[in-house]
Amino acid sequence: MSSVAFFGHRDFDYEPYSKKIQEKIATLIEEGATTFYNGMRGRFDVLCAEIVCGLKPRYPHIENIMVLSYPPHADWRLPRQFDESVYLLERPVPPRFAVFYTNRAIVERADFIISGIVLKSGGAWAACHYAQNCGKPIWNAVK
């Protein structure tokens, strides 16, 4: 069993890459991926969450997990695409660093990274750079 994480930019149009991403996710499932971590912070995350959710009827054993950067509020509700949510930070961090440290925690849990990186800046790029330094395999959907 293995896990996959998603990192992409907040405001890029990934729709032209959706079929390619779906095919890659299905291939990873066929190769043993069962757990998918998603921060649900931008357009790439939303697209990937929808794709994994859409594949669940064909692969009912997979889990789509939303990773929270902040502890949930009392009125918070899990988006319909997800099976569960997790909060990975073991100690409090200032809110402005929460996403950065959450992304690192996701990388450390994941066996494989699917990215949608087009710019060498931003949180998604930093997460993929960290993943590369950790020796994690990364597949970029937009290349």
Give the global pTM. 0.96
Q: Round the average pLDDT of the chain to a whole number and report it.
A: 96
- CB-side exposure of 31: number of CA atoms within 13 Å? 11
pLDDT recorded at residue 96: 95
DSSP of 114-139, one letter per residue?
Answer: EEE--SS-HHHHHHHHHHHHTT--EE
Query: What pLDDT does residue 92 have?
Result: 87
In this prediction, residue 98 has a pLDDT band, given cuts at 50, 70 and 90, of: very high
Among the four given CATH numbers 3.90.1300.10, 3.40.50.1970, 3.40.50.450, 3.40.50.80, the one describing domain 2-140: 3.40.50.450
pLDDT digits (tens, 9 = 90+) for 34-92: 999 999 999 999 999 999 999 999 999 999 999 999 988 899 999 999 999 999 999 88
Domain coordinates in residue numbering, the chain: 2-140
The dihedral sign for the CA sequence 70, 105, 47, 128? positive
